[in-house]
Amino acid sequence: MKLKKFEGNPILSPNPDNEWESLVATNPAVWYEDGTFYLLYRAAGDDKEHHIHIGLATSKDGFNFKRVQDKPVLTPDPNGYDAGSVEDPRVVKFGDEYYMTYAFRPYPPGQYWKNEYDQIEAPKLSEFAPKCLRENVGNTALAISKDLVNFKKVGRLTEPSLDDRDVIIFPEKINGKFYMLHRPKNYVGEEYGTDAPAIWIKSSDDMMSWNVESKLLLKGEEWWEPKVGGNTPPLRTDEGWLMLYHGVDKDFTYRLGACLLDLEDPTKILYRTQDFILEPETDIEKNGLYKWGVVFPTGNVIVDDTLYVYYGASDQWCCAATANIHELVQFIKDNTK
């Protein structure tokens, strides 16, 4: 089974009228409430430094989106920890507040797609500068909002020494604790039990302090997923937490897998697909900034019986795909490893 791609993709494209989003509109978070879909997307212009922002668009049907304003809802702070970029948001809600995790860098990454895979620009600093600054390491922070337009940055969630992105908070407390998925790139080797970056999970009492030991949750096993990372906030179903994740093969092609986690103990995988459910096929998915093929979801919601998945195509456009949630859950159980 594969997710059904919207025939009208992309649902959001770069806007040449706004310098800050003239080149990129991609990797969107999504929230659905009171009949409206809110899409928070990664945006960037064609500047050499490649500063990255987050914009907002809304829709009533989940496919036809309009931008809310001509400026970002979140932007890098030139004097702060995220001076280089704010990107790849994921959104959940507790009470009347929205909590958005976002990846950041202390310096702009440069036009990275012109470099070798996974290589970004870094500043020339002295040997005494922290490694995370010298190497322009990617990390993750948290921002809070009551309206998805005005955000308060509340700080870093991950350790400065780690390259730690794909950080996702579960949308509910589980047995009194918050849970986080993350992908520390440094956790590789015999002592970590994985030969490539993988998905880890940890808990917290207050959503800001994640000092407990992290547990390896999921590592690559199939040919299409030597390297893996989390994608979208887990969604509660009757059969478990639906978690979508990406696999990156030896040719750097990104595909999407799915699993179900135990509702009471999300450190346990109940079912996990052998086969991927989304892959690069169209021109924009294979020929954007990245040329090797990228589909990268960062948002999903269930409305009635339909799962809406929102993904970035080649780090440049926003796209949508859907599935019947009951059919997808059954497929995950039937296709499990």
Task: Determine the Cα–Cα distance for residues 90 and 31; give it in Å rounded to an integer.
Answer: 9
pLDDT (tens digit per residue) in 226-250: 999 999 999 999 999 999 999 999 9
Task: Determine the Cα–Cα distance for residues 15 and 45; give it in Å rounded to an integer.
Answer: 9
For the range 253-256, what are the long-range contacts, defined as Cβ-Cβ under 8 Å and sequence gap of 24 or more?
253/224, 253/279, 253/280, 253/292, 253/293, 253/294, 254/280, 254/293, 254/294, 254/295, 254/296, 255/224, 255/225, 255/279, 255/280, 255/295, 256/3, 256/231, 256/295, 256/297, 256/311
Nearest to 101 by CA among 26, 37, 154: 154
pLDDT (tens digit per residue) in 135-157: 999 999 999 999 999 999 999 99
pLDDT (tens digit per residue) in 170-216: 999 999 999 999 999 999 999 999 999 999 999 999 999 998 999 99
pLDDT (tens digit per residue) in 288-306: 998 889 999 999 999 999 9
> How many domains is the chain partitioned into structurally?
1
Residue 41 corresponds to which amino acid?
Y
Task: Determine the Cα–Cα distance for residues 229 and 213; give it in Å rounded to an integer.
Answer: 19
pLDDT average, residue stretch 62-76: 98
Q: Give the pair of three-digit tokens for residue 188.
A: 């590789």
pLDDT average, residue stretch 304-326: 98
Which pLDDT belongs to residue 161?
87
Q: What is residue 163's three-state secondary structure?
A: coil
pLDDT (tens digit per residue) in 9-57: 999 999 999 999 999 999 999 999 999 999 999 999 999 999 999 999 9
Give the burial string for 178-193 (b: 16+ CB within 10 Å, else e). Answer: bbbbbbbbebbeeebe
Could you tell me the pTM of the whole model?
0.98
Residues 6+ apart with CB under 8 A from 126: none
pLDDT at 61 over 80: yes
Round the average pLDDT of the chain to a whole number and report it.
97
Cα-based angle 283, 55, 161 (whole degrees, multiple of 5) = 90
pLDDT average, residue stretch 322-329: 98
pLDDT average, residue stretch 281-287: 96
Task: Determine the Cα–Cα distance for residues 316 and 54; give it in Å rounded to an integer.
Answer: 13
Task: Determine the Cα–Cα distance for residues 20 and 44; give it in Å rounded to an integer.
Answer: 5
- Find out whether the peptide bond into 72 is cis, omega within 30 degrees of 0: no
Q: Give the pair of three-digit tokens for residue 20.
A: 């800050």
Which pLDDT belongs to residue 337?
76
pLDDT average, residue stretch 308-331: 98
CATH of the domain at 294: 2.115.10.20
Nearest to 315 by CA among 251, 257, 254: 254
Secondary element (H or E) of residue 320: strand 317-324
Which pLDDT belongs to residue 291?
86
Residue ranges making up the domain that contains 51: 4-334
